[in-house]
């Protein structure tokens, strides 16, 4: 049985000249890349634009992909991150939404005050996540924003699924400590 990582690496090489292989790559990775980029931007139209650029760059540079250097998914998500970086400049990007933009009058469940509190909590969480290692950030993003399973994350990052689960547990514990510490200093 061919591993998923090996399969997608092979399909990526075939996609250079095979339209069906490219379509299969696109269909499989589109929802994952879209969720990743939506998590980075919180703006669906901007995420749509970024996804288009990501897949256009992927198509234009498929010949440059080298399976010996890493998994196809890692290569593709690096392209997606580069699209975000190019748009926002070289500085690290954290999505910011003003209170007015975050307020949704159609949301009958939450009052404006509750929506404001929720946004503050989101901002605190983002700031805490930025204090984690890059690997921990990636594992959290892939788990919660991209809804990837530990075996998929492991393939993308070159880790065993059990190592991903351990790293995820450690990242959550570290995040909890950071958030508790920030609450104490308020």
The pLDDT score that the predictor gives to residue 98 is 33
The pLDDT score that the predictor gives to residue 99 is 31
The pLDDT score that the predictor gives to residue 103 is 38
Q: Nearest-CA neighbor of 30 among 15, 14, 47?
A: 47
The pLDDT score that the predictor gives to residue 21 is 93
- Say yes or no to pLDDT of 151 above 50: yes
* Residue showing tokens 């909590």: 121
106 or 129, higher pLDDT: 129
Is the model's pTM score more than 0.75? no
The pLDDT score that the predictor gives to residue 115 is 59
Percent of the chain with pLDDT over 70: 80
Query: What torsion do the CA atoms of 139, 140, 145, 151 make, to the nearest 10 degrees?
Result: 40
Alpha-carbon span 136 to 167, nearest angstrom: 7
The pLDDT score that the predictor gives to residue 116 is 59
What mean pLDDT comes out for the span 46-51? 92
- Residue 144, CB half-sphere, CA atoms under 13 Å: how many? 15
Q: Nearest-CA neighbor of 164 among 174, 173, 175, 152?
A: 152
| pLDDT class of 111 with cuts at 50, 70, 90 | low
| pLDDT class of 127 with cuts at 50, 70, 90 | confident
Cα separations in angstroms, 170 against 122, 154, 167, 174, 175: 20, 16, 5, 6, 8
Please, what are the domains in the chain?
1-89 (1.10.1740.10), 113-186 (1.10.10.10)
Tell me the pLDDT of the chain averaged across its residues: 79
139 or 1, higher pLDDT: 139
């Amino acid at each position: 049985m061919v591993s998923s990582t090996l399969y997608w690496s092979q399909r990526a090489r075939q996609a250079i000249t095979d339209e069906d292989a490219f379509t299969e790559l696109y269909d499989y990775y589109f929802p994952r890349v879209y969720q990743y980029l939506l998590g980075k931007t919180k703006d669906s139209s901007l995420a749509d634009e970024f996804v288009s650029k990501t897949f256009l760059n992927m198509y234009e540079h498929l010949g440059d992909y080298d399976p010996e250097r890493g998994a196809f998914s890692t290569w593709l998500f690096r392209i997606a991150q580069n699209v975000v970086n190019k748009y926002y400049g070289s500085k690290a990007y954290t999505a910011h939404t003003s209170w007015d933009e975050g307020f949704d009058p159609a949301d009958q469940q939450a009052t404006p005050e509750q929506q404001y509190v929720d946004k503050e909590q989101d901002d605190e969480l983002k700031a805490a996540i930025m204090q984690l290692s890059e690997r921990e950030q990636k594992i959290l993003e892939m788990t919660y924003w991209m809804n990837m399973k530990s075996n998929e994350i492991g393939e993308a990052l070159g880790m065993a699924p059990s190592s991903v689960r351990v790293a995820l547990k450690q990242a959550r514990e570290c995040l909890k400590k950071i958030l508790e510490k920030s609450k104490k200093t308020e």
